Amino acid sequence: MPADIKTTLPLPGLSPVAGKPIIARFDGGSLSSDGGLLALREVEARLGVAARLAGCIDDPRAPERIRHSLAEMLRFRMLMIAAGYEDGNDADSLRHDPLFKLANGRLPDAAALCSQPTLSRLENTPGPRALIRMARAMVALYCASFRQVPRRITLDIDDTFDAVHGGQQLRLFNAYYDEYGFQPIVVFDGEGRPVAAMLRPARRPTGAEARNLLRRLVREIRGHWPRVEILIRADSHSCAPEVLDFCRAARVDFLLGVASTTTLRHHVETLEASTARRHTGAPGGEKLRRYKEFHDGAASWTRVERIIARVEVSAQGADTRFVVTNLAAGSARTIYEDLYCRRGQAENHIKAWKRHLAADRTSCCRATANQFRLMLHTGAYWLLWSLRSLMPRRSTWRVAQFDTLRLRLVKLATRVVALKTRVMLHLPSAYPDKAILRLALERLPRLTC
């Protein structure tokens, strides 16, 4: 497509180079800054995220008047989020972008994609039943992402604060954070795959609330894999008698943090004192960590459980943590350091979900619309996580943050030329990551869904 012949004002403030003035105008014509979207398009086509979610929504529109299908709108919105355009208002400009059109199966000179008001109506379309179906579809997507049925999976459960600044449904004032917000529960597996995200008020989840989420989640996973072993890891927010009893009844292993109490501290008083003495007499002042395990239980528990205490003394003082588990095998040190401490990686997954993909943009008035937004941002997470999984296992690309993937592989200047028999994409000759982008596209058949 030729350059735009409409007169546009040059950008001001550009200094000359080698005595020649710099004239910059927005008149390049069919250009895009998101050439890497085509890689995400291929990933989405293999995962089928948009089609899975669209199949859960009852479309109230008259079929003869539909210009944008549900799957196309969902795909457009998830690609926007993955490319860093979390604000729905950007759709009014991006709907004309040639790369976004190509990524949604339209030629560059075809009709524009859906507008921001259309996306807003879409967000308010799903009701509670549709959202439940979508949650099941996301679990089905998770199970389909494995090449073969795993013998054992690990699910990390955590809640995260999401500040709000309006009168949204379900918002609640949280005294710890000193502001109104939500506190959704999110579930990732040990490798970073998203499994579930549930919007809820900004308060600590009750035992019944955590148990109900686990019951639905375990039932749905075992509907796909009846014999899979499941390990649940979580902090003390999920350590409630209802959760412990459910895990025992459902044959689910658990490894949960336990809030420190006077009774628990009584078991480790001697160990804390001896560890402090050892640290004082040790040269160098390096931190000293020791472990102890015992069986005990809170008054509200139906039985005693195996509790592991980790006592650590450093220059900053003593720090004691407790975890409870029904795992019979493994020493206290192995269970804490090799199993429980890996739960900290879930914080990085939440950070990628919230910070790199702006999953905390829950500004809709209705709770159902905000829950739907969590689904969309989780879908965008799947796109970038799957793209990263195609990278060489021992390369730095395999552990790159999502914002790095977006900057290096998605934000790619592209000139689009639509010919009679083909569409030509002209990419920068000086692009430094040609090899890794080519490798990712060659490995696309490895994605399983």
Are the CB atoms for 361 and 163 separated by under 8 Å? no
Q: From 396, 386, 271, 426, select the one nearest 39 (Cα to Cα).
A: 386
Residue 251 and residue 143 share a domain: yes
Amino acid found at 428: P
Residue 226 lies in a domain: yes
pLDDT recorded at residue 97: 95
Q: Is residue 150 part of a domain?
A: yes
Residue 217 lies in a domain: yes
Which positions of the chain have pLDDT values less than 70? 1-7, 449
Bridge partners, residue 186, by sequence: 158, 197
The pLDDT value recorded for residue 14 is 87
In terms of domains, do 68 and 154 share one? no
Is 200 within 8 Å of 209 (Cβ atoms)? yes
- Looking at 308, 332, 363, which one is the last position of a domain? 363
pLDDT at 279: 85
Residue 14 to residue 193: CA distance in whole angstroms:
45
Residues 101, 235 within the same domain: no
Task: Select from 43, 137, 136, 122 the least CA-distant residue to 82.
Answer: 43
Residues 273 and 200 both lie in one domain? yes
Indicate the number of domains in the chain. Answer: 2
Same domain, 183 and 145: yes
Domain membership of residue 6 (yes or no) is: no
pTM of the predicted model, to two decimals? Answer: 0.92
Residues 352 and 388 occupy one common structural domain? no
Q: What is the CATH number of the domain that holds 280?
A: 3.90.350.10
Q: Is 269 exposed, middle or buried (0-12, 13-18, 19+ CB in 10 A)?
A: exposed
Hey, what amino acid is at 240?
A
Domain boundary among 337, 363, 389: 363
Domain annotation covers residue 121: yes
Question: Does residue 218 lie in a domain region?
Answer: yes
Residue 48 structural domain: 31-125+370-446
- How far apart are alpha carbons 397 and 384 in whole angstroms? 12
Q: Which residues pair with 293 in a beta bridge?
A: 308
Which pair of tokens denotes residue 314?
Answer: 């450093």
Q: In what order do the strands lie in the sheet with 414-418?
A: 31-32, 414-418, 423-426
Q: Are 204 and 188 in contact (CB under 8 A)?
A: no
Do 171 and 303 belong to one domain?
Answer: yes
Helix (H, G, I), strand (E, B) or coil at 261: coil
pLDDT at residue 185, rounded to an integer: 96
Cα 424 vs. chain centroid, distance in angstroms?
34
340 near 323, Cβ under 8 Å? yes
The two three-digit tokens of residue 416, written as one number: 């689009």
The C-alpha atoms of residue 354 and residue 184 are separated, in whole angstroms, by 11
* Per-residue pLDDT at 2: 52
Of 321, 343, 363, the residue that ends a domain is: 363
**Residue pair 271/291 in contact by the 8 Å Cβ criterion:** no
Q: Are residues 158 and 73 in the same domain?
A: no
333-372 burial, b at 16+ Cβ within 10 Å, e below that, comes to eebbeebbeebeebeebbebbbebbbbbbbebeebbbbbb
Q: How far is CA 274 from CA 219, 268, 282, 415, in A?
A: 46, 10, 12, 69
- Residue 332: predicted pLDDT: 93
Tell me: do 262 and 351 sit in the same domain: yes
**Do 327 and 397 share a structural domain?**
no
The gap from C-alpha 144 to its chain's centroid, in whole angstroms, comes to: 17
The pLDDT of residue 3 is 53
Tell me, what's the pLDDT at 23?
87
Residues 117 and 142 placed together within one structural domain of the fold: no
Q: Is 418 inside a domain boundary?
A: yes
Looking at the structure, tell me whether residues 82 and 198 fall in a common domain: no
- Does residue 142 lie in a domain region? yes
Query: What's the alpha-carbon Rg for the chain, to the nearest Å?
Result: 26
Cα gap 26→6, rounded to integer Å = 10
Instruction: Please identify which residue in the block is written with the tokens 């000759």.
Output: 429
Query: Which pLDDT does position 316 carry in this prediction?
Result: 84
At residue 286, the pLDDT reads 81
